Each structure stands twice: as C-alpha cells, then as structure tokens.
Amino acid sequence: MDNLMLGASVTQADSTADMAIDLHARYYTRGYFVYVSTTGLNTDNLCVGAGKMFTFHKGVFVDPKLVYDATAKTTNLQLGVGLKF
C-alpha cells in the first residue's frame, strides 16, 4: 500500500531478560504522517502521534512528532533522525 510504513524491532536488555518485539506504523500524506506504536505486542502500551518529515541532502531526514503515550498518560515532542533508501 502506498504511503504506509510498517516496522518492528527486537530488543533484549541483557542475557537474562526476555526479548521484546515492538511494532510501529506510519501513514504519510502530503508530507505529514500519523504514527502508532506498541511495546511488547501489548495494546495497553499504545502510543499515537502525528508529525512531519523533512528530507535533507540525499535521503537524510528529520521527523519531529507529537506523541501521546497511553501508558504514562503523557504527551511528548520527539525528534527522529534517519536515512531513507
């Protein structure tokens, strides 16, 4: 599907901890995106937000986003930096 980005990450704090799978999704429209993520495949740990992607030289991007964390009941401004291939 165009304009949809799905992702997953696997984390493990140390050799005694369980591995956790985190999922996230973004839907882009007109340079803006809506964002949803969950930690550990648990819908109780849901985060939702919106942001805008700014692309710089040859695929380097910055994406500020406003995210509501349902677990902590907080709203945060987050800044991501990455590469687009």
Per-residue pLDDT of the chain (85 residues; tens, 9 = 90+): 789 999 998 888 788 888 888 899 999 998 899 999 998 777 788 999 999 989 888 889 999 999 999 888 999 999 989 887 7
Distance, in Å, from the CA atom of 15 to the CA atom of 6, rounded to the nearest integer, reads 28
β-partners of residue 10 are 21
- Count: domains in the chain: 1
pTM listed for this prediction: 0.76
pLDDT of residue 9: 86
Q: Which residues pair with 82 in a beta bridge?
A: 61
Q: Which residue range(s) make up the domain with 50?
A: 4-83
Query: Which tokens sit at 81?
Result: 């930096």
